[in-house]
Amino acid sequence: MARDDHGVTPQSEDFSAWYNELVAKAQLADRGPAKGTMVIRPYGYRLWELLQHELDRRIKDTGHENAYFPLLIPESYLRREAAHVEGFSPELAVVTHAGGKELEEPLIVRPTSETVIGEMMSKWISSHRDLPLLLNQWANVVRWELRPRMFLRTTEFLWQEGHTAHAGAGDAMRETMLALGLYTEVARDVAAMPVVPGEKTAGERFAGAERTFTVEGMMRDGKALQSGTSHYMGTNFAKAFDIQYTSDTGRLEPCHTTSWGMSTRMVGGVIMTHGDDKGLVLPPMLAPHQVVIVPIGRGEQAEQTLAAARELAARLKAAGVRAHVDDRSQLSPGFRFNDWELRGVPVRLELGPRDLASGTALMSRRLGDEGKQPIPLASLPGDMPGILADFQAFLLRRATEFRDTHTRVADGWEAFAGAVASGWALALHCGDPACEAEIKTRTAATPRCVPLDGPPASGPCVLCGAPAAYGKRVIFGRAY
Amino acid sequence: MARDDHGVTPQSEDFSAWYNELVAKAQLADRGPAKGTMVIRPYGYRLWELLQHELDRRIKDTGHENAYFPLLIPESYLRREAAHVEGFSPELAVVTHAGGKELEEPLIVRPTSETVIGEMMSKWISSHRDLPLLLNQWANVVRWELRPRMFLRTTEFLWQEGHTAHAGAGDAMRETMLALGLYTEVARDVAAMPVVPGEKTAGERFAGAERTFTVEGMMRDGKALQSGTSHYMGTNFAKAFDIQYTSDTGRLEPCHTTSWGMSTRMVGGVIMTHGDDKGLVLPPMLAPHQVVIVPIGRGEQAEQTLAAARELAARLKAAGVRAHVDDRSQLSPGFRFNDWELRGVPVRLELGPRDLASGTALMSRRLGDEGKQPIPLASLPGDMPGILADFQAFLLRRATEFRDTHTRVADGWEAFAGAVASGWALALHCGDPACEAEIKTRTAATPRCVPLDGPPASGPCVLCGAPAAYGKRVIFGRAY
């Protein structure tokens, strides 16, 4: 358990305890009253909003439009696509009573919206001129979780789900990859998470999909986090929901559809990609406060440094920096420093009477790698965007190095077992689901993805020795 | 029913049919599969997003923080505040099964979030230093509706709900009025709806509130639309959920709380405040497309006007204008003009070969009040923000005039009955709920609000003759 008010169990000692304590103490989220639900507190929600804003902009820039579909879906809809209902049945929450009466047909609280969106697409699409239909929705979904985990697996979570319909397989596959590209870019350029884009093996596909693609991030305990997925559905949902169009030659054809989602799980990804023993480390692009100014001093000096801190914050804000003044004068400077370290603020500025006299503020970056530096107050607003961009780039570089040093090409079982004990293995695999299951039983590792940019490779399967499938190495790892 | 593909039943003939046809034909929304649910289509959702953006900015600028609370609330929570559960019980949707099992305690799909937020506030607040706590959430809520109506009363709707806790009644009342002020401002300055802020009479209060305030808009059929509400809860929820703080003198005190909400109902308000027989009329601040450019011509000329339209659109976008090119060359110009009229686009620009030759575009404002004017292409991007601002101001002026000419000071029953048949009555009322009920039975009119800025007035009740309450006249009207 925690050492003091700001302490958390060290990562290396118990990663899981570290994570849980940090989520609570950094005020990112609390448990909700119903099993497995989560309350996202303002600090955590702001982080999500900033991510959402970046992703939403890219979704719109690539021609998609936002819409909103109902939360409650007739139970019969889910049964129309056989694989889909089989995959989701164990996780459903069911409304049986409403308005004081038992419903004739129970309503499912959406676990995902392919079915209801498929039904509406069938009404909206008639001609090839209606295609492609490029939709997205920001929504909450509910999946009953047996082992809930804040942000990573909660009974309810927030996400966007893109749903598109196309005239042919080629267009739909290009869309599937476009969405995967957006996720790769947002993870890398916004969350500083160097995710690996790749394809899931058959056993890990979305219920009802022909092909499932994923971006996989490596957490600081060496485990993988599936951080976004994009699915090519073929004509499975089009046939189940009559999503058809008349081609330019007058033939009635089923559409090819896609769906893709990224969720509040990403908040967990940010925590586990960058955090350290002292707490969160937030990439500036997602930090609710990019800079916190801590005024120091007593009596009259306290008033002077507080006034100077407020003026500096206003100048930083005018320069486009999210600056916050910690005016909790009842708390000691040390307590406040620890608090903002725990909460992962990228840059801290101390402003005491002596700093004020010399016209500087004492700057510390969250990782403490450059110690404390005095920076002239006059040039701070101009310098800060660059300092933050450097820190953002540094975090991505650090995470990339961590991922690369914890990923090993593994030929032979011992090398494989060693690699997945602390990170990822790049291994040859036969593609047989039974062999995948045996690997999971022995090591808890699963195939995370067949990376898109993996070089060609062939040889015997790392476990059973049969000829490798996929034409390249597969990433195996333990996962959240 | 509709006359042709773009026609809708005239407003004057059947306002309700006009509304329903318009929502569908303008592609704002469609019915969802479950009873009373609604699918918000991209055109309607974009309008909501633009409103949401304006409201969210003001909520943040006044010191509130966004958070997110669970959708599913234990049934027992709702019972803790007696008036609250009594008010909401008939409208609840209940999850009884989840994860393949019957739940020990049923979960309510939130109809509003006072209960679950109250529970969390009780955990987060301990000292007066934790106050005020100023929260907001953007969410979906479910209330089972017997007579659903698109945007106005749907089983599920989208809204923001502000929830705040304060150390005293004075602070909480100031907050209640601040939120009401935000709604008045957003309705007026963004939606061009000249709403009247006022207080609800006792019979129209929110379930569990001490005082309920509202902003009421007048629709073009003379009916009122409650467009946002703000509630002072006193210590009712604080006592039910133990939301307490230690004062600076060390005493344990209950907090005073507020809640306030504005919803997708506002989309219905915009339709019914500004629309006419030809369709929607959108205020520029909420119009998904502020300007639509329709290129005209055949063959080679079509290519030239389309290229010029795209170039013009790019220049308009660079000037901050939401411009759209209608490149559906397979449709006649007349068809496209009618389509954008139906969809309420504020400004239409026609661009034919002759326009191009003279270096102009033919501009029509949506209300056709100034006919078609040739405007030089060179100056259009510079002029357009002003043209749009004028149109926005014009719509507010027109709606204000409509409201004022349909609001009458009514003394005596005949004058009252006449006023509420076509608009609002400003009447003296005794304040007796039985008398309110009798007025409703006779005229379908209810007290909409006691307007904040109404001048002092006294005299006999318009129906029963007893001395008037409230110290001022009350607005009565039929309502949605």
Using a 10 angstrom Cβ sphere, with 0-12 exposed, 13-18 middle and 19 or more buried, the burial of residue A65 is middle
CB atoms within 10 A of CB A368: 12
Task: Give the count of Cβ contacts less than 8 A between chain A and B.
Answer: 162
- Shortest distance between the Cα of B72 and any Cα of chain A, in A, equals 7
Contact assignment for B73 to A33 by CB distance below 8 Å: yes
| A99: in domain | yes
**DSSP conformation letters of B215-250:** EEEE-TTS-EEEEEEEEEEETHHHHHHT-EEE-TTS
CATH of residue A459's domain is: 3.30.110.30
CB contact under 8 A, A71 and B120: no
Give the number of other Cβ atoms within 10 Å of residue A290's Cβ: 25
Please give the span between the terminal C-alpha atoms of chain B, in angstroms, as a whole number: 22
Percentage of chain B beyond pLDDT 90 is 92
Residues paired with A254 in a beta bridge:
A244
In a domain, A304, yes or no: yes
Whether a cis peptide bond, with omega within 30° of 0, leads into B346 is no
| Residue A236 and residue A87 in one domain | yes
Measured CA distances, A274 to A2, A182, A393 (Å): 20, 21, 12
Q: State which of A383, A416, A451 marks the end of a domain.
A: A383
User: What's CA A436's distance to the chain center, in Å?
Assistant: 26
CB contact under 8 A, A67 and B100: no
- Give A377 to chain B, closest Cα distance, Å: 26
Q: DSSP state, B200?
A: -
Looking at CA atoms only, how far is residue A465 from chain B in angstroms? 39
Q: Which residue has the tokens 């009363």?
A: B153
Give the pair of three-digit tokens for residue B271.
């339709």
For residue A146, list chain B residues with Cβ-Cβ distance below 8 A.
99
Beta bridge partners of A97: A102, B94
Bridge partners of B109, per DSSP, are: B72, B93
Query: CB B146 to CB A99 under 8 A?
Result: yes
Question: Which residue is listed with tokens 């609800």?
Answer: B200
Claim to verify: residue B176 and residue B301 sit in the same structural domain:
no
Q: Determine, for residues B156 and A72 on separate chains, whether the beta-carbon distance falls below 8 Å.
A: yes
Give, in degrees to the nearest 5, the angle at Cα B404 between B398 and B405: 90
Q: Which chain A positions have a beta carbon within 8 Å of B139's beta carbon?
A: 140
CA-based nearest residue in chain B for residue A39 = B69
- pTM (2 decimals)? 0.96
This complex has an ipTM of: 0.96
From the CB of residue A250, how many other CB atoms can be counted at a distance below 10 Å?
A: 6
Residue B5 has pLDDT above 80, yes or no: no
Q: At what angle do helices B42-61 and B265-274 cross, to 10 degrees?
A: 110
Residues B268 and B216 in one domain: yes
Contacts of A45 in chain B (CB under 8 A): 65-68
Sign of CA dihedral A151, A153, A154, A160: positive
Residues A123, B30: C-beta atoms closer than 8 Å: yes
- Which two structure tokens, joined as six digits, stand for B365? 């404002």
Segment B186-210, tens digit of pLDDT: 999 999 999 999 999 998 899 899 9
Tell whether B285 is covered by a domain: no
Token pair of B438 as six digits: 């009798």
Q: Token digits for A370?
A: 């450059």
Asked if residue A228 lies in contact with residue A198, where contact means CB atoms within 8 angstroms, the answer is no
- Same-domain status, B424 and B321: no
Residues B219 and B319 in one domain: no
Mutation pick from B5, B39, B73, B142 vs chain A, by most beta carbons of A within 10 Å, is: B39
Clarify whether residues B99 and B57 are in a common domain.
Answer: yes
Q: Starting at the edge strand that comes first in sequence, how are the strands of the sheet with B291-295 ordered?
A: B323-325, B291-295, B347-351, B360-365, B372-376
User: How many domains does chain B contain in total?
Assistant: 3
Residues of B in contact with A142 (CB under 8 A): 71-72
Q: In this structure, what token pair is assigned to residue A239?
A: 């046939």
Task: Tell me, yes or no, whether B6 lies in a domain.
Answer: no
**Quick one: pLDDT at residue B1?**
35
Q: Do A95 and B94 touch (CB under 8 A)?
A: yes
Domain boundary among A227, A246, A274: A274
* The Cα angle at residue A39 between residues A206 and A95, in degrees rounded to 5: 60
* A18 sits in which H/E element: helix A15-25
**Which of B412, B415, B410 minimizes the C-alpha distance to B474?**
B410
Residue B133 and residue B45 share a domain: yes
Are B186 and B44 in the same domain? Answer: yes
- Nearest-CA distance A69 → chain B (Å): 5
- CB < 8 Å to A156, chain B: 70-72
Q: Is residue A284 part of a domain?
A: no
What pLDDT score does A1 carry? 34
- B400 domain residue, yes or no: no
pLDDT at A81: 85
> With an 8 Å Cβ cutoff, are A32 and B69 in contact?
yes
Cβ–Cβ of B49/A38 closer than 8 Å? no
d(CA B216, CA B195): 5
Q: Tell me the C-alpha distance between B131 and A401, whole Å.
A: 44
Chain B contact set for A46 (CB, 8 A): 65-66
Reduced to 3 DSSP states, what percent helix, strand and coil does chain A have, rounded to the nearest 5?
A: 40, 30, 35
Mean pLDDT of the region B311-329: 97
C-beta atoms of A120 and B39 within 8 A: yes
Provide the shortest C-alpha distance from residue A160 to chain B (in Å).
14
Split at pLDDT 50, 70, 90, the class of B85 is confident
CA B430, CA B415: separation in Å to the nearest integer?
17
Rounded to the nearest angstrom, the minimum Cα separation between B441 and chain A is: 25
Regarding whether B184 and B147 lie in a shared domain, the answer is yes
Of how many residues is chain A composed? 480
Q: Give the β-pairing of A424-427 and A407-409.
A: parallel
Q: How confident is the model at residue B3 (pLDDT cuts 50, 70, 90)?
A: very low
Residue B324 located in a structural domain:
yes
Residues with Cβ within 8 Å of residue B67, at least 6 apart in sequence:
A39, A40, A41, A42, A45, B135, B136, B137
Peptide bond into A132 cis (omega under 30): yes
Crossing angle of helices B299-318 and B380-405, rounded to 10°: 80
- Mutate: best of A25, A48, A72, A153, partner B, most B CBs <10 A: A72
What pLDDT was estimated at residue B176?
A: 98
Closest Cα in chain A, distance from residue B431 (Å): 31
For residue A193, which of A271, A288, A264 has the smallest C-alpha distance? A271
The mean pLDDT of B246-272, rounded to a whole number, is 97
The answer to whether the CB atoms of A32 and B144 lie below 8 A apart is no
Residue type, A235: T
Q: Which of A274, A309, A328 is the last residue of a domain?
A: A274
How far CA A372 is from CA of A367, A395, B418, in Å, comes to 11, 19, 76
Cβ contact A29:A23 at 8 Å: yes
- The CATH number of the domain holding residue B352 is 3.40.50.800
How far, in Å, CA of A445 to CA of A421, rounded? Answer: 9
Judging contacts by C-beta atoms under 8 Å, the chain B residues touching residue A95 are: 93-96, 109
CB contact under 8 A, B38 and A70: yes
State whether A420 and A451 are in the same domain.
Answer: yes
Of A67, A72, A100, the CB nearest to B90: A100
**Phi first, then psi: what are they for A476, rounded to 5°?**
-110, 145
Residues from chain A contacting residue B5 (CB–CB below 8 Å): none
- In this complex, do A109 and B100 lie within 8 Å of one another by their Cβ atoms? no
Q: Which residues of B touch A96 (CB under 8 A)?
A: 94-97
Around Cβ B2, how many Cβ atoms within 10 Å?
Answer: 14
Please give chain A's pLDDT, 480 residues, in tens. 334 566 899 999 999 999 999 999 999 999 999 989 999 999 999 999 999 999 999 999 999 999 999 999 999 999 898 888 888 889 999 999 999 999 999 999 999 999 999 999 999 999 999 999 999 999 999 999 889 999 999 999 999 999 999 999 999 999 999 999 999 999 999 999 999 999 999 989 998 999 999 999 999 999 999 999 999 999 999 999 999 999 999 999 999 999 999 999 999 999 999 999 999 999 999 999 999 999 999 989 999 999 999 999 999 999 999 999 999 999 999 999 999 999 999 999 999 999 999 999 999 999 977 789 999 999 999 999 999 999 999 999 999 999 999 999 999 999 999 999 999 999 999 999 999 999 999 999 999 999 999 999 999 999 999 999 999 999 999 999
Residue B81: pLDDT band with limits 50, 70, 90: confident
Q: Do B70 and A139 touch (CB under 8 A)?
A: no
Contact A34 B67 (CB under 8 A): no
Minimal Cα distance from B158: which residue of A?
A68
Instruction: Tell me the three state secondary structure of residue A374.
Output: strand
Q: How far is CA A44 from CA A40, A155, A234, B53, B408, in A?
A: 6, 17, 37, 20, 51
| Residue in chain A nearest B44 by alpha carbon | A67
- Which of A92, A95, A330 best tests the B interface by mutation, with the highest count of B CBs <10 A? A95
Q: Are strands B65-66 and B133-142 parallel, antiparallel or unpaired?
A: parallel
Q: Are residues B351 and B209 in the same domain?
A: no
Residues A311 and A430 in one domain: no
Mean pLDDT of B456-471: 97
Lookup: tokens for B413: 């029953």
Instruction: Answer yes or no: do B116 and A42 touch at CB < 8 A.
Output: no
Which residue segment(s) compose the domain that B249 sits in?
15-274
Once rounded to an integer, what is the mean pLDDT over residues B158-175? 98
CA dist list (Å): A309 to A349, A411, B211, B359: 9, 58, 40, 55
Q: What percent of chain B has pLDDT over 70?
A: 99
In a domain, B284, yes or no: no
CA B278, chain centre distance (Å): 22
**Which residues in chain B have Cβ-Cβ distances shorter than 8 Å to A69?**
32, 39-40
Q: Given an 8 Å threshold on Cβ–Cβ distance, is B139 in contact with A135?
A: no
* B128 three-class SS: helix
Residues of B in contact with A73 (CB under 8 A): 33-34
